[in-house]
Amino acid sequence: DVKVTQSSRYLVKRTGEKVFLECVQDMDHENMFWYRQDPGLGLRLIYFSYDVKMKEKGDIPEGYSVSREKKERFSLILESASTNQTSMYLCASPPGGEGPDEQYFGPGTRLTVT
């Protein structure tokens, strides 16, 4: 059974803090994605990675960075958290190395920045 896990389900941080969101997949997939989900806006792609140490900006990368040192782990970093980054963050990974395919999603991390 495929699995994408995220380090926290709920997180509360203060404005200006550096925040790390961790995602791990046990499927040996090359591609991993970070989205944020907001009511009325659906899911928006922040960053994705197609290999270790490789990353690409998505549609809304501002205020975020990522790290992929190992194939199974993809971290999203908020360098200086702001209240407008309060959101649900979803990690996902598709099974295939080539071409588009369905994405397997983690349970999400609900981040609140106060």
Partner 1 sequence: AQSVSQHNHHVILSEAASLELGCNYSYGGTVNLFWYVQYPGQHLQLLLKYFSGDPLVKGIKGFEAEFIKSKFSFNLRKPSVQWSDTAEYFCAVNEDYKLSFGAGTTVTVRA
Report the distance separating Cα 28 and Cα 2, nearest Å. 10
Residues 47-76 contacting partner 1, CB under 8 A = 48, 50, 58-59
String of contacts with partner 1 for each residue 1-30, x by CB under 8 A = ------------------------------
Identify the residue among 18, 70, 107, 114 touching partner 1 (CB under 8 A): 107
> What is the closest distance, in whole angstroms, from the C-beta atom of residue 6 to partner 1 in the complex?
10
Report the distance separating Cα 69 and Cα 80, nearest Å. 22
Identify the residue among 23, 33, 74, 78 touching partner 1 (CB under 8 A): 33
* 104: CB partners within 8 A, 6+ apart: 2, 3, 4, 25, 27, 92, 93, 94, 95
- Residue with smaller CB distance to partner 1, 13 or 110: 110
Of 20-28, 39-47, 64-72, 78-86, the window that binds partner 1 (rule: CB under 8 A) is 39-47
